[in-house]
Structure 1
Amino acid sequence: MRLYNLKDSHEEVSFSKAVQLGLGKKQGLFFPLELPKLNTQTLTDLMNLNFIDRSTKILSYFLHDEISSKDLKNIVKKSFSFQKPILKSISKNIACLELFHGPTLAFKDFGARFMANILQFLNVKNTPMTILTATSGDTGAAVAHAFYKMKNIRVIILYPNKKISTLQEKLFCTLGNNIYTIAINGSFDDCQNLVKKAFNDQDLKKKIILTSANSINISRLLAQICYYFEAFSKTPFEYHKKLIISVPCGNFGNLTAGLLAKSLGLPIKNFIAATNSNNTVPNFLKTGIWNPKKTISTISNAMDISRPNNWPRVKELFLKKKWSLKSLKYGSVSERNTKNTLKKLYNLGYISEPHAAIAYYLLKKKIKKTDYGLFFGTAHPTKFKNIVENILKINLKLPEILKKYNKKKMLSHFMKPNFEKLKKILLEKF
């Protein structure tokens, strides 16, 4: 698999190199040089496979020339060794695809665990490596647990101080060992900017092997394609050409994976790019003007991103496939409507959380009676326990994993968004 840099098309690398680099020159994202396309019979055959075999086959269309089928299946089996996505019906033609049944109760487990196992497989010489990543909520836990105690791999995670839920924080800021967490006094965009500066620092590149586990890393996106096929396999047959998927969007990696699934040939009728008040993309799609504003803190904190990293990939994909951006449905949802939607879902018998509620709100608003709609449940409601309990006036029982980590001591360090200080940390031996 060959990939090119979206900011410097002359830079072409293999999948292995792209995973290890994270970003290319000029902080450019890597994008597949060729996009595989499956015929109708192949798609039908894929639907008859189980989740692990189907995922292996899908990934092999991208990676067949770099990783053998046997090795790839072992990696997939190890990475997706938890409960596969579950479909929960909400009404006649709307359902939630719950993607949060992994070890850290978030959809990020799919991409993070696949990336960790891929990197371990590729690092045959056990060369010391630093993973630097920023999180607006769930990425931190998924990445930390995926790489926890892996030899010769150090993980440094930046997150906005006091802007993620306590339980999200507890899941990854209590591990220690090879996991180093830093609370930045600023927004997620500040954290993300520090990561970009690190990857653009030539001195750092000479002295350490540095890669990122954000959705800027192509391995995470490829892994996420797999559950879109699972979503389609669970859709009633009569709706196979009428499927609308509403995706809660922050950094837009999840939506990018869905669009890559569509480019493979998965007949998804349309997507809804659902955001909270941080509505840079909806405003762009409406006006054609890219004008990121200061990030606003909301109860859907994982989506509090005003400069989504993966948007250039979305634009490139539409360009390569000759799709019109005008065909992409979109919308942003206020705090008030998010809270009211949580109540409406509860009255329908379903306990959700803010991110999924945003996706449901826009799906309900835009879907036709003849279509079938899925909205993604990206995190377990208890990860936002206080918020959900306050809105719904109920008591939520914590899953065992959250009970376990909630009792542990916080190990985070604190700092202002200071790149020189971060650089000093990155250069420390481990």
Structure 2
Amino acid sequence: MKLYNLKDHTETVEFSKAVKLGLGSQQGLFFPKDLPSIKKEKLSELLNMNFISRSSEILSKFIKNEIKKTELEKKVKKAFSFSGPKIIKVTENIACLELFHGPTLAFKDFGARFMAQMLSYLNNKNEIVTILTATSGDTGAAVAHAFYKMKNVRVVILYPKGKISALQEKLFCTLGENITTIAINGSFDECQTLVKQAFNDEELKKITGLNSANSINISRLLAQICYYFEAFALIPKQKKIELIISVPCGNFGNLTAGLLAKSLGLPIKSFIAATNANDTVPRFLKSGNWEPKNTISTISNAMDISRPNNWPRVEELFKRKKWDLTELGFGSVSDDQTVNTLHELSNLGYDSEPHAAIAYKLLKEKIKPNQFGLFLGTAHPAKFKETIEKILKKEILLPKVLKERCKLPLLSHNMRPNFLKLRKFLLEK
């Protein structure tokens, strides 16, 4: 599989190198040179497979002969060794695609665990790898648990201090061992900038074996394509005809994966890019001007991102496929509207959380009578226990994994958003 750098099309690499590098020169994202497609007659055969076999087939279309199919299926089975996606009916023509039944109760378990399996397979020289990543909430936990105690891998996770939920923090800041967490006194965008600065430092990269597990890493992105196919396989035949999918967007990796699923041949009618008050993309789609503002803290904290890393991939895919960007649905939702939507969902018998609520609200507004809609449930409501209980005035029970972590002390370091301090920290530890 050949990939090219979106900022320098002359830089092309194999899948294995893209996984190890994370980013290309000038912090460019890697993108597939060839966009595979699945013929209609093969699609129905694919949809009849089980989740693991189908996912292996889908991933092999991108990875090709770099990893043998039998070996790839073993790695996929190990990565996705938890409850798969579930579809829960909310109204007659809207359902939630729940992606939070993995070990850290978030959709990011799929991508992070697949990336961990790929890195362990590709690191045949047993070189020391430092995974440096930024999180606005769920990535940190998924990455930490995926790489926990993995040989020759050191994980360093940056997160905005006081701007993720207490339970999100407990999930990944209590592990220790090869997992180091740093609370940055700033926004997620500042955390992300620090990661980018580190990747621009060639000496640092070489000494520490730097890699990133954000959704910028191609292995994470490809893994996420798989659950869109599973969702399509799970819905009744009559509801597949006019399928609309609403995606809560932060860094836009989840939407990119859905669009790649469509590019492969999955007949999804359209997507909705749903954001909170950090609405850089909706404003861009409306005006054509890219004008990121300062990041605003909201109750949907995992989406508090003003400079989404994956947006260039979305634009590149639309350009390559000759799709019209005006056909992408979009919208932003305020905190007050999110609170009202959480009440609405609860009254319908479905207790959700802020990110999914935003996707539901925009889906409900834009869906037509003859269409069927899925909104993505990206995290378990219990991860936002305090917020949800305050809004809904009802108790949200903690799953076992959260109960266990609650009692443990936080092991995080604290740091200002200063690259020289981070650099020193990475070289000393």
Structures share fold, TM-score greater than 0.5: yes
SS where residue 177 of structure 1 aligns?
coil
Q: Comparing 277-286 with 197-206, which one deviates more in the overlay? A: 197-206
- Give 1:388's aligned residue: 388
In structure 1, what residue type is equivalent to 2:266? Answer: L
Cα deviations across residues 289-331 of structure 1 (Å, max 9, x unaligned)? Answer: 0000000000000000000000000000000000010000000
In structure 1, what residue type is equivalent to 2:81? Answer: S
In structure 1, what residue type is equivalent to 2:52? Answer: I
CA distance in 2, matches of 1:361, 1:369: 16
CA distance in 1, matches of 2:97, 2:288: 31
SS where residue 9 of structure 1 aligns?
strand
Give TM-score, length-normalised by structure 1: 0.99
CA distance in 1, matches of 2:400, 2:229: 30
- Give 1:331's aligned residue: 331
CA distance in 2, matches of 1:320, 1:189: 28
Residue 428 of structure 1: CA displacement?
Answer: 2.6
CA distance in 1, matches of 2:129, 2:337: 44
In structure 2, what residue type is equivalent to 1:249? Answer: C
Residue 50 of structure 1: CA displacement?
Answer: 0.5
In structure 2, what residue type is equivalent to 1:89? Answer: K
Q: How does 1:136-147 map to 2 (within 5 A)?
A: 136-147=136-147
In structure 2, what residue type is equivalent to 1:239? Answer: K
Moved over 6 A (4+): none
CA distance in 1, matches of 2:341, 2:196: 36
In structure 2, what residue type is equivalent to 1:81? Answer: S
Counting matched residue pairs gives 429
- Give 1:135's aligned residue: 135
Residue 239 of structure 1: CA displacement?
Answer: 2.3
- Give 2:298's aligned residue: 298
Q: How does 1:24-173 map to 2 (within 5 A)?
A: 24-173=24-173
Q: Comparing 204-213 with 173-182, which one deviates more in the overlay? A: 204-213
Residue 63 of structure 1: CA displacement?
Answer: 1.0
In structure 1, what residue type is equivalent to 2:367? Answer: I
- Give 1:7's aligned residue: 7
Give TM-score, length-normalised by structure 2: 0.99
CA distance in 2, matches of 1:303, 1:235: 27
SS where residue 114 of structure 2 aligns?
helix
Residue 205 of structure 1: CA displacement?
Answer: 2.4
In structure 2, what residue type is equivalent to 1:322? Answer: K
In structure 2, what residue type is equivalent to 1:369? Answer: P
CA distance in 1, matches of 2:374, 2:345: 14
Does residue 193 of structure 1 match 2:193? Answer: yes
CA distance in 1, matches of 2:196, 2:157: 13
CA distance in 1, matches of 2:24, 2:329: 30
Cα deviations across residues 72-121 of structure 1 (Å, max 9, x unaligned)? Answer: 00000000000010110001110001000000000000000000010000
SS where residue 428 of structure 2 aligns?
coil
CA distance in 1, matches of 2:298, 2:338: 10
CA distance in 2, matches of 1:422, 1:395: 40
Over the aligned positions, Cα root-mean-square deviation in angstroms equals 0.6
CA distance in 1, matches of 2:254, 2:135: 14
Q: Which runs of 5+ in 2 are unaligned?
A: none
Cα deviations across residues 140-181 of structure 1 (Å, max 9, x unaligned)? Answer: 000000000001100000000000000000000000000000
Does residue 218 of structure 1 match 2:218? Answer: yes
In structure 2, what residue type is equivalent to 1:301? Answer: N
- Give 1:263's aligned residue: 263
SS where residue 427 of structure 1 aligns?
helix
Q: Which runs of 5+ in 1 are unaligned?
A: none
SS where residue 186 of structure 2 aligns?
coil
Residue 208 of structure 1: CA displacement?
Answer: 2.4
Residue 236 of structure 1: CA displacement?
Answer: 1.7
CA distance in 2, matches of 1:427, 1:61: 39
Residue 125 of structure 1: CA displacement?
Answer: 1.3
CA distance in 1, matches of 2:251, 2:306: 9
Q: How does 1:337-352 map to 2 (within 5 A)?
A: 337-352=337-352
CA distance in 2, matches of 1:140, 1:174: 12
SS where residue 64 of structure 1 aligns?
helix
Residue 342 of structure 1: CA displacement?
Answer: 0.2
Cα deviations across residues 178-221 of structure 1 (Å, max 9, x unaligned)? Answer: 00000000000000000000000122123221100000000000
Residue 341 of structure 1: CA displacement?
Answer: 0.3
Q: In percent, how many aligned pairs have the same letter?
A: 70
Residue 241 of structure 1: CA displacement?
Answer: 2.3
CA distance in 2, matches of 1:100, 1:214: 18
